[in-house]
Each structure stands twice: as structure tokens, then as C-alpha cells.
Amino acid sequence: MPATKAPEDLLRKIRQGNRFLLTSHVNPDGDAIGSELGLARLLRRLGKGAVVWNLDPIPAIYRPLPGSDRVHSGAEPPAGFPEKFDSIVVLECPSPDRTGLEEHLTSLPVINIDHHLGNQHYGAVNWVDSAAPAVGEMVFRLAQALKVALEPEIASCLYLTLVTDTGGFRFSNATPAAFEAAAALVREGAHPEQVAQWLYESQPAAVVRLLGEMLRTLALHHGGRIATVRLEPEMFARAGAAAGDSEGLIDHPRSIAGVDAVALVRRREDGSYKVSLRSRGEVDVEKIARHHGGGGHRNAAGYALEAGGAGSSAEVERAVVSEVASALPMADTSTAAPEGATGMETAGTPAHPVSVEAGAEAGDLGVAQATASRAESADESAAATGSGAASGAATGSGATSAAATTAATGAEHASAAATGKATAAAGAGKPAG
């Protein structure tokens, strides 16, 4: 499907407006944040006012981005809203409820810019291009249509969206358009080495400790074709990590040889669950997420389960595994397990069926953390409202294997292993998580 041009009514709305509010989905990922910050600076270059408002704070991995310190977060609107604004631009969000700010979206005309399948076209102006590798790439096309020269800071923010949403240009959305946009953004002044440092070499120690906690719950199912991990509130407490620090972690188990799908079950403080899903090839996890009111992309999606009816973490995990198994190609369900793997196996245990009563919650790291872009976005936004979405996740190949081997001996060792360079990974289906 060829890319679509920025519609004329969108260009007209921007040219005529004076001040814009920008927002995206809950638990914002790299595509969400990079698009917001890039578009905000672009609008200011046009002489417009722009304020970014997200319900959730920016995850630590994205705080080095230029302009991140100006983002307004929380349930309270920024000063002057809505009286001093002309329009709300919602980026990378297939439905208004996934912003977590939906009650405020009726105050002003909404401009909806997104690339997710199933976008509800809820805006007064809608630009939805499911062929776009990232919403940041759409913002770049918008800049071209508006004939705005980019500054290096804008180019780097938009380049980051491509890196995170394509899993470091490794996923199926790493199309010619993705590479062409990346090359153009580098010509405009984007700094790939700086973006790589932000994504892969600036992890807080708490994030790596949380990775170690999560890897202790690793279990393999169905001959090693499905991997599951969990996150529980107490794991975040032991690691000294915040909720946003789980972004990208899901992609570490995704890097295991023979694994076609991964589920991360994260139990929240209120007893609700966020389920993040990643997969390879034809394994469609978006259908699973959509069945539960979530969404995302084929290979990266997510959804939320309300407290009370979901059961324990172990019960949620078993139900998810059953659904994911039904999405595996029939011809492969009898594929031999990787050496040492049987129907179920947890990290650091003998290779025989064991209980996986070790609970956890979904999240994402490195471009493991960064890539939440196609996956996190889908997944994250979806999770906030019971709609789920996974907005991409990312993973470190080298770091993952190192981290996985040390997970059983402690989070500090996992942390040392994981801080090696992590390569990006995020879902070819990025959940709006």
C-alpha cells in the first residue's frame, strides 16, 4: 500500500491555527514521544505555539530527547487549556480513550494522525496511514508538505521514532520508506550515534535490575515456541523502578532461538493486568489483543484486564498461552523444542515441567525499551483503558543472551550483562504498547 499524502484540510488547519495541544497514548513509547517532540518543534518553527500533554510521564530512556523537559504530564490540564488553544493533535493513538485524557478531547477540534490498523477516525481531521513505518515518518512528510526546514533536534527526534518502531530496522515495517526517511533525516542533521546512545547506552541501573527480576520468571511453552514473563509490583519495588521502566523488556525473551511469540503479564498495584504480546512472521497477536478490547499491529499488540475477574498472574498467563498457541501455524506446533526446553521451563531450573507461579507484569527495554514503538505504542495505549495496544518493543541481541544467562543468579548480574549494547526490537506490530 503506497503512503498517503498529508491531507489538505490538515495543512489548512495547521496554517490557520495559532496554538496546538499535542498528546498521544498512555505509557508513551519512542514513536509517541519522538513524534510529539518533533512536531512541537516543527510548529514552533512555523511561529505557532505548541504544548505536549501526556497522562503518563516520559520513561527514563526518552528523557534525554530535546524538549522532553517541557512536556506536561498528569491528569490536570496545562495552563490555558482549552481557552488558549485552537486544536488538539492526537498522535499514534487509534482511539481517543487510549490517551487517558478522552474527557478533554471534546473541548477542541481534534487532528488525528496515526498508522494503526483499526483507527477509529475520531478526529475532525484524520490522517491515518497504515503503510507508514512510524508516525514520526508521517510527521516528516508533514514537514515536507508544509515546506519547513528541519533543525537537527527535530530530525533526531523523528529518526528515533523510526529506530524504535522498526526494532532497529529489523521488523517487517522496515520498508523502503523507512530507510529513505532515515537517510533524509540524517541529511537534515539527525545524529544516529546520539540516538543509539539514548536508546542503548543510557539505561538507569533500576531498569537493568528490573530486567533481572523479570527474567527469573521466564518460562517456555509449546516446545519452546512461546515464551512468557511476568512483572509484579514488588519486583518494581525491589528494583527501585517506575512503571515506565518496563518498556522494551519484553523483547529480551523474544530474542530466544525458536521463540515465535512472547507474552508479558504485568500485574498493577490495583490488581488489574497489562498484557503485552510480541511475535514473529505470520503469528498475529493483534487479533488476540483486539478480542480483549486492545489493539496494535500483527506482531506487537497489547490489552488490559480489569481487576477482579482476571484471576491470579499464573491464571492470566495460562489463558494467554492458550490463546497464543491457537495463533501458531498448525504445521509447526509439533516442532521439536530447543535443547533443554519442554512444555514449560523457567530460567535457572531443570528442563522439565514446573510451576510458573512466579507472577509478573508486561513491559518493555533498550530499543527493547525504545521500541516500544511499534509495539509499545500499540500495547501501551491499549493497556491504559482496557483497550490495550502495543506500542513496539526493543531488544538487545547480545545483551539479551548475556542477561538471560545471568538472570538466575541475580538482578545485579543481569544488569551488568544487559548494559552491553542492546539492539532494537519492538513489534512489527506495535501495540498502542
Cα–Cα distances in angstroms (integers) from residue 149 to residues 9, 46, 78, 80, 174, in the given order: 21, 10, 28, 29, 25
Q: Answer for the pair 257, 369: CB distance below 8 angstroms, yes or no.
A: no
| For residue 407, pLDDT beyond 90 | no
Q: How many CA atoms lie within 13 A of 122 on its CB side?
A: 20
Q: Report the interhelical angle of 152-165 vs 135-145 (nearest 10°).
A: 150
Average pLDDT over residues 74-96: 97
Q: Answer for the pair 429, 299: CB distance below 8 angstroms, yes or no.
A: yes
| For residue 349, pLDDT beyond 70 | no
| For residue 112, pLDDT beyond 90 | yes
| For residue 385, pLDDT beyond 50 | no
Total-model pTM: 0.76
pLDDT in tens, 244-289: 899 889 999 999 999 999 999 999 999 999 999 999 989 999 999 9
Task: Report which of 389, 373, 353, 387 is spatially closest to residue 425, judged by C-alpha positions.
Answer: 373
Mean pLDDT, all residues of the chain: 82
Which burial class, exposed, middle or buried, applies to 117 when counting CB atoms under 10 A from its CB (0-12, 13-18, 19+)? middle
- What single string gives the DSSP state of each residue in 249-288? TTHHHHTSTT--EEEEEEE-TTS-EEEEEEE-TT---HHH
Q: Answer for the pair 248, 365: CB distance below 8 angstroms, yes or no.
A: yes
Residue 218 per-residue DSSP state:
-
Q: Is 333 helix (H, G, I), strand (E, B) or coil?
A: coil
pLDDT in tens, 230-241: 999 999 999 999
pLDDT in tens, 32-77: 999 999 999 999 999 999 999 999 999 988 999 999 999 999 999 9
Average pLDDT over residues 188-202: 95
1 — pLDDT class (breaks 50, 70, 90): low
For residue 156, the tally of other CB atoms under 10 A from its CB is 25
Task: Report which of 340, 333, 328 is spatially closest to residue 404, judged by C-alpha positions.
Answer: 340
Q: Answer for the pair 289, 431: CB distance below 8 angstroms, yes or no.
A: yes
Domains defined for the chain, CATH in brackets: 8-200 (3.90.1640.10), 205-418 (3.10.310.30)
